[in-house]
Homo-oligomer: A and B are copies of this chain.
């Protein structure tokens, strides 16, 4: 039984999905390989056939999730968007992605705060919860004199930092997700980020 119910890709996907799900509820270290095998219906030996170790599995899962995030947040930008429109749009997408993918948020939070991340940050190369595309996007705003003339990482910290703590607050019920709250939040960041010397 269970013969050819899944091909290799499906097995790998099932393993990643199960790992993500289990980590959300049980945490990094409350998720033994045995449970992953059980949940994904893939034998332990098979998991080790594709991932040399649990660490490799976690690392692969991280890259998988980061790719999902990257694809998501810059999606839906129209040609006629002003810079401000895009600034708002990307930030909303960022928050929406994490709210719609709570298990990814949990996983990232744990991943980034684990010593595991600190060991491998050389290979990872990207800021907090985000990616270089965000850096480039904000740098563009600086170059066009729309945003404050400061080190881009200050703006990245603000842009991403507020998004992450917003998701956190919603998750822990300090805040409710509503259009109005999101508009006011992104308004706070925009007001903080724009160049008041010379803006459109």
Identify which of residues 170-189 in chain A touch chain B, using a CB-to-CB cut-off of 8 Å.
172, 174-175, 181, 184-185, 187-189
Majority DSSP secondary structure for residues of A touching B:
helix
Which of B30, B109, B148 sits near A184, CB closer than 8 Å? B148
Chain multiplicity (copies):
2
* Chain B residue at minimum C-beta to C-beta distance from A105: B113
With contacts A115-B27, A191-B196, A192-B190 taken as known, whether A157 is within 8 angstroms of B148 at the C-beta atoms is no
With an 8 A cutoff between CB atoms, is A165 at the interface?
A: yes
Once the chains are docked, how many angstroms separate the CA of A190 from the CA of B175? 21
The smallest beta-carbon distance between A163 and chain B, in angstroms, is: 8
Q: Could you tell me if A113 and B113 are in contact, using CB atoms closer than 8 angstroms?
A: yes
- A115 contacts B26, CB within 8 Å? yes
A161 located at the interface, meaning its Cβ lies under 8 Å from any Cβ of chain B in the complex: yes
A94-151, CB < 8 A from B: 106, 109-110, 112-116, 121, 127-128, 148, 150-151
Q: A residues within 8 Å of B by Cβ?
A: 25-30, 106, 109-110, 112-116, 121, 127-128, 148, 150-151, 153-158, 160-166, 168-169, 172, 174-175, 181, 184-185, 187-193, 196
